[in-house]
Amino acid sequence: MKIAVCVKQVVTRDWPVRVDDAGRWVRDRDAGFEMNEPDAYALEEALRLKEQHGGEVIVCSAGPPRVSQVLREALARGADRAIHVESDTLATADALTVGKALADALRPEAPDLVLTGLQSDDQGFGQTGVVLAELLGISHSTIIMEVEVSGEAQIRVKRELEGGWFQWVVMPLPSLLTIQSGINQLRYATLSGIMAAKKKEVRTVEPEAPARESHQKIVELYVPEKRKKTRFIEGSSTEVAQELVRVLREDARVF
Amino acid sequence: MILVVAEQREGVLNRVTWECVATAQKLEAQGSGPVKVVVVGASVTAVADEVAAAEVAEVLVVDDVALEPYTSDGFVNALTQVIDTEEPEVVVFPHTYQTRDFAPTLATRRQRTLVTDCIGFKSGPDGARFVRPMFQGKFVADIAVQGPAPHFASFQIGAYRAEAAARGANPAPTRRIEIALDLADIRQRPEAPFKEAKQAVDLTQAARIVAVGRGIKGQEHLPIVQELAKALDAEVAASRPICDAGWLPIDRQVGSSGQTVAPKLYLAIGISGAIQHLVGMKGARTIVAVNKDADTPIFEVADYGIVGDLFDVIPALTAALGN
C-alpha cells in the first residue's frame, strides 16, 4: 500500500508567540519549529499500517526551506521518502491554497491512502485534509480513531462523533483520513533511524500554481479581548497558596 | 441571501442550529439579505416545522432516503444542488464534527473557501470579516474572504446564544427542494453509531475538579495533582493531550471531545486553555488557573490566576489546605 502523509511545520508549543509589527502574523523569525502534533499521529499511523501491510510511506510538507527539518524527522522515524513543496507563502496560506499545492504534488504519486492530522496548532483550520481529498477526487473520512484494511481496495475506519459516540465507516481506496490525536503512541527517531534518513530522498518541487491567489486574508491578528476580570495572586508559593485558600473559602465559598 | 445549514440526527434538531439562526439574523442586520434555513436528511418534516418557528424568510427541505444515515458524499451532493439553485451569498454552519466532515468538501467543490471555527464577525469595507481564533486561542484574527460569493463560514458552538434567535409571529413558509441523488455516488458506507463501554467517571456531577494539562510534563508528576485533589475532595480531570499520551484515562478528559463540566470549583493546572478545552469547562462557577505563562488563554476565563511554577505552587497549596 502506498501511503502519503501530509505534515505541517509549526512554531514549537513552548515558544512565546507575539504578534508581528504588521499585525498579520506572529514574530517567528527566531522561533523554534516542530512537527504539528496531530500530524505526528497521522505519520505514526501510516508507519504502523506499512508495518502490517507492507508498502511505502511518503511524507509531504508545504512551506519554506526550514520545512525540510520536519521531513528529515519523519524520515528518521521511518518514512521512506519525502516531497517538499517549497514556497515561502504557503506557511501562512489558507487551507484551499495549501490543499491545491499538496494535491498537485501528490497527484502523480497516486497514493492508495492519504493521512493528515485533524488540525494544526497554528491556524487550526481543521480542513486541509478534507479539501485535499476533494482536489484529489478521492473519498475521505474525518477524526479517525482506528484504521482497518479490510480488503484489496477497501478500508474500515472508526470515526469519533461528538458526545462519546463512534461509528465505523467502510470506504473504497484510494481515500484520505484525518487522524485524531491519541489514536496511537508516538515513536521517536532512533539513532540508526536518523542515520538512515540521511540517505533517503527528499524531492523539492515548486508549487504548480504560485500561491499568489489567496482565498482568505488575515486583515488583523491580535490578542483577544478579556471577557472576565482575573484577580492575579502574587507572592511566594506559600503566600499565594494561603491567599488562594482564603479567597476560595471566604469569597468564592467553594468548600 | 444567508443560508443556514441546520444540523439534525435521526430526526432530532441539534440546538446549535438556533445559534446559527441567531448568527445569520445578525448578519442580515448588516445587509447580507434575508435568512433561509435548509434542513437536509430523510423524514425531516418535523425538524423543518420546528425550525420554521424562527423569524426567517423560508425553510428549505431536502428530504431523501439516500441522506440517512449521514455521509459526507450524500450531504455534499445534496447541498451543492441547493446552493446552485438558491445562490446564497453566505452559507452558515455550526462548527460541529459533522460540519468538519462535509463543509470543506462543499466549499472546495465550488472553488470557494470555508472560514472555520468563527467566534463572530465584523463589517468591513468589502463585506463581512469573520473573526476566528488562531494559535490555540492565544490570538484571534479578522479574516476577509477573497473572491466572489458564496462565502462559507462555520461558527463555534456558543459563539452566539440560541435564545437570541428571533422567532416569527407566524411559522416561516417551508419549501421542498427536489434533488437528484445517486446512491452509487456515495462512497462512504457508515455502520450504526455506538458508545464505548460506559464511562467509569462522571465528572459532570463533581462539585470540585482539579484538572491537569501539558505543564505537568510527565506522568511521574501526577501524584502532586492527585494529592491536591484529595485535599480539596475533588475529582482529577485532564486536558486532551494528557489522555492522548495515556497518562490518565480518557474518561477524565474535559473539553469538546470529552466531558462538559460545571463544578463549583475548577482548578486548571498547567493547562494553556485551547478552545477545545475551554468549551468543556467555562461554565464552572469559580475558575482558578495556575500557569507559568501570563498570556495563556486559560486566564481569559479564570477568576483567580497564579502565574508561577506549578511544581512549587501545587505542593504549597496542598500544604495550605492541610492547615
Q: Which residues of A touch B72 (CB under 8 A)?
A: 139-142
Q: What's the pLDDT at A211?
A: 57
Q: Do residues A141 and A177 make contact, with C-beta atoms less than 8 angstroms apart?
A: yes
**Whether the predicted pLDDT of A208 surpasses 80:** no
Q: Which helix (H) or strand (E) holds A149?
A: strand A139-151
**Whether the predicted pLDDT of A63 surpasses 70:** yes
Q: Do residues A57 and A82 make contact, with C-beta atoms less than 8 angstroms apart?
A: no
Q: Does A40 touch chain B (CB under 8 A)?
A: no
User: Is residue B312 packed enough to be buried (19+ CB in 10 Å), middle (13-18) or exposed (0-12)?
Assistant: middle
**Whether the predicted pLDDT of A116 surpasses 80:** yes
Q: Do residues A121 and A36 make contact, with C-beta atoms less than 8 angstroms apart?
A: yes
Could you tell me the CA-to-CA distances from B154 to B96, B118, B130, B282 in Å, in that order?
8, 6, 10, 21
Q: What is the mean pLDDT of residues A131-159?
A: 95
Cα torsion angle, A75, A78, A83, A89, sign: negative
Q: What's the pLDDT at A212?
A: 60
Q: Whole-angstrom Cα distance, residue B255 to residue B258?
A: 5
Confidence class for position A140, pLDDT limits 50, 70, 90: very high
- What is the phi/psi pair of residue A167, to 5°? -155, 135
Q: What is the arrangement of strands in the sheet containing B127-134, beginning at the earlier edge strand?
A: A216-222, B139-145, B127-134, B120-124
Calculate the CA B179 to chain-centre distance.
Answer: 29
Q: Which CATH number fits domain B2-185: 2.40.30.10, 3.90.1300.10, 3.40.50.620, 3.30.70.100?
A: 3.40.50.620
pLDDT in tens, A173-204: 999 999 999 899 999 999 999 999 999 999 99
**Which of A152, A154, A181 is closest to A169 using CA atoms?**
A154
Q: Domain limits of chain A?
A: 2-205
User: Is residue A122 packed enough to be buried (19+ CB in 10 Å), middle (13-18) or exposed (0-12)?
Assistant: buried
**What is the residue-wise DSSP string for A16-66?**
---B-TTSSSB--TT--EEE-HHHHHHHHHHHHHHHHH--EEEEEEEESGG
Q: What's the pLDDT at A210?
A: 62
Nearest residue of B to residue A125, measured between CA atoms: B116
**Which of B117, B144, B121 is closest to B131 using CA atoms?**
B121
Of B103, B304, B319, the CB nearest to A230: B304
Please state the ipTM of this predicted complex.
Answer: 0.92
Q: What's the pLDDT at B31?
A: 81
Q: Whole-angstrom Cα distance, residue B264 to residue B285?
A: 5
Q: Does B45 touch chain A (CB under 8 A)?
A: no
Q: Does A254 touch chain B (CB under 8 A)?
A: yes
Q: Do residues B211 and B271 make contact, with C-beta atoms less than 8 angstroms apart?
A: yes
Confidence class for position A162, pLDDT limits 50, 70, 90: confident
Cα atoms in the 13 Å half-sphere on the side-chain side of B277: 29
Nearest residue of B to residue A236, measured between CA atoms: B313
Q: What's the pLDDT at B197?
A: 67
Q: Which residues of A touch B103 (CB under 8 A)?
A: 127
Q: Do residues B8 and B14 make contact, with C-beta atoms less than 8 angstroms apart?
A: yes
Q: Which residues of B touch A168 (CB under 8 A)?
A: 190-191
Q: Is B51 left (phi over 0), alpha (psi -120 to 50) or beta?
A: alpha
Q: Whole-angstrom Cα distance, residue B73 to residue B101?
A: 10
Query: What CATH number is given for B203-322 in this structure?
Result: 3.40.50.1220
Q: Domain limits of chain B?
A: 2-185, 203-322
Q: What is the mean pLDDT of residues A88-102?
A: 93
Q: Do residues B307 and A232 make contact, with C-beta atoms less than 8 angstroms apart?
A: yes
pTM, to two decimals: 0.89
Q: What is the mean pLDDT of residues A139-151?
A: 94
Strands (DSSP E) contained in B68-216 are 90-94, 114-118, 120-124, 127-134, 139-145, 151-155, 174-176, 189-190, 194-195, 208-212
Q: Whole-angstrom Cα distance, residue B219 to residue A161?
A: 28
Helix (H, G, I), strand (E, B) or coil at B143: strand
Calculate the CA B65 to chain-centre distance.
Answer: 27
* Residues ≥6 apart with Cβ < 8 Å to B146: A213, A214, A215, A216, A217, B113
Q: What angle do CA A183, A187, A188 make, to 5 degrees?
A: 145
| CATH topology (fold) of A2-205 | Rossmann fold (3.40.50)
Q: Whole-angstrom Cα distance, residue A255 to residue A67?
A: 51
Interface of B with A in 231-290 (CB under 8 A): 232-233, 240-241, 243-246, 250, 256-257, 264-265, 285-286, 288-289
Which of the residues in chain B have pLDDT under 70? Answer: 197-199
Q: Whole-angstrom Cα distance, residue B207 to residue B202?
A: 11
